[in-house]
Amino acid sequence: MKFGIMVNEGPYTHEASDTAYLFAKAALEKGHQIHRIFFYHDGVNNSTKLTEPPQDDRNIVARWTKLAADYKIDLVVCVAAALRRGIRDENLAEGFRISGLGQLIESGIQADRLVVFGD
């Protein structure tokens, strides 16, 4: 099965980002495909390389970067939501790119299921 994933919550605000990551990783390990992961609303905060969690905490941004590199996943950050939160190309973590809502629509069309994490 091919999944599209949408993440609407920040990395340390709720469990939505952790759950989305674990879902994506488990799906890939079971042989499913991920068409794209789209970060929207506060979910765009998953993309900033300015995040510096304490050493004893998980680095959610680094997890997304590694997942994208390991499985060649397209990580798309909504341009409007990103700009509202001060996120620009120069402070994106590796593996992320900024684009528009058309990428979310395309993912919904191309994937068998679009799974949404967060409000």
The catalytic site residues sit at 78
Give the whole-angstrom CA distance, residue 93 versus residue 111: 25
Give the whole-angstrom CA distance, residue 98 versus residue 39: 9
Burial 89-102 (b: 16+ CB within 10 A, else e): eeebbebbebbeee
